[in-house]
Homo-oligomer: A and B are copies of this chain.
Amino acid sequence: MTVDLRLSDLHPALDDPALNSMSFLNEIAQRYPDAVSLAAGRPYEEFFDVAAPNRYLDTFRRHLTEDLGQSPEQARRTLFQYGRTKGIIHHLVARNLAVDEGMTVDPEAIVVTVGCQEAMVLVLRALRAGPEDVLLAVAPTYAGLTGAARLLDLPVRPVAAGTSGLDAVDLRAQLRRVRADGLRPRACYLTPDFANPSGLSVAEDSRRALLELVAEEGLLLIEDNPYGLFPAGDDRRPPTLKSLDTARQVVYLGSFAKTVLPGARIGYVVADQRVAGLDGTVGLLADQLAKIKSMVTVNTSPIAQAVVGGALLEHGCSLVAATARERAVYARNLRHLVDGLHRRFPAGSPVRWTVPAGGFFVVVTVPFPVDDALLHRSAREYGVLWTPMAHFYAGSPSVPALRLSVSAVTPADIDLGLDRLAALVADELAGRAATAELG
């Protein structure tokens, strides 16, 4: 067959595991549609209301005319035309952060983005001034962060998560190492609440200590918070890093994919950092991010923004209230998964797992390598899908652990999936035992 281009002539990120990870996982899921999926981190969909988008659109249009005083023509223009680069629901996002997180945010410091992914791209692009710049990221790391960094030619150095979400000693050590290499650390990316994939959360006192550490080190934090509203217990949610941030050291990334609906593709970034221009004028980092956004997607679809805006308006801008049912489902599923792991791998089993305080994800550690080949076999022969943890360590072919997700399943799915996983594990352990005997 005639070939027009070679992959080696395209951007090197296209050959990077981080960029191939998502397509690989999607392919597996498509190839084995009947397998039980404990892989997908998609939100629960039973409560999706088919009539909601139309209603949200109408609610937001009324808001434009009745609350914001736009004429019907202006409201139509707001929804249909090109619009404000930083978005049209920034005031509602700010209100949501005040109501749900106790955060006081200048709406002008918010850029509404095409999902949280675009927010990452804008921030990483802004911070990558040259080849000496590197990003730190708590490992294991969300593959979308690593992939975006690769695409923007920004190297990522891992920081150990430890047992509490971020190992401060390792952060200091990595900073020393980066600087010793003549490089400039621009920021450290982390998900302090129920991280993907580790499930770990940073304790409140560690959050304060982390902010002191980065103040001393002159480092920005990029706080990603897609799962914060989903604690599994009745515990008070700890404050976000951004709400403790008195010195504008935190760039905050938010997403409505898990709280309203993924199909709107609406996220945002809070970037209140003050940037001095070459002419001495001082503006917000958000305005620099908007300039980048104008060249990436021009602006976020006002129709998609209106869907999320309508949802916020219908719930008094509180997503804590709006997601009560989903939160209960995720908490129930997490308990069911952990109980199920206990039953199938009782004391004495070499299998271990995390017990997160919330979120979507549990990490299961096993005494054998877990790679894409094993996932293939799991899908084909056992009918269960999960995610090899290697996908969250850039470039590692195999890590003896896998991620299970509880977000898009029922307790019956969990039972069936765990039965199948237990069979796979038993066969792997028996196979290894047999190999050891032969050897």
Q: Which residues on A are within 8 Å of B, measured CB to CB? A: 1-15, 18-20, 22-23, 26, 42-43, 45, 48, 50, 53-54, 57-58, 61, 72, 76-77, 79-83, 85, 114-115, 117-118, 121, 125-130, 144, 147-148, 150-151, 153, 248, 257, 261-266, 273-278, 282, 285, 287-288, 290-292, 294-304, 307
Contacts and interface: CB of A to CB of B under 8 A. Distances in A.
Nearest to A265: B301
B114 A114 contact: yes
Nearest to A300: B265
B45 A295 contact: no
B11 A128 contact: yes
Given A80-B263, A127-B10, A117 B5 contact: no
B126 A261 contact: no
Contact of A5 (B81, B153, B273): B273
Copies of this chain in the oligomer: 2
B115 A297 contact: yes
A390 B82 CA distance: 23
Given A19-B295, A278-B15, A291-B14, A76 B50 contact: yes
Contacts of A299: 265
13 contacts: A2-B274, A5-B275, A11-B128, A11-B292, A15-B278, A23-B290, A45-B80, A80-B262, A117-B296, A117-B298, A265-B299, A303-B304, A303-B307
A78 to B, nearest CB: 8
Given A13-B292, A114-B297, A151-B296, 7 more contacts: A4-B285, A10-B127, A10-B275, A114-B265, A125-B151, A265-B304, A304-B304
B298 A265 contact: yes
A12 B127 CA distance: 10
A312 to B, nearest CB: 16
A144 B76 contact: no
Contacts of A12: 129-130
B4 A273 contact: yes
Contacts of A265: 114, 297-301, 304
A53 B48 contact: no
Contact of A8 (B13, B61, B278): B278
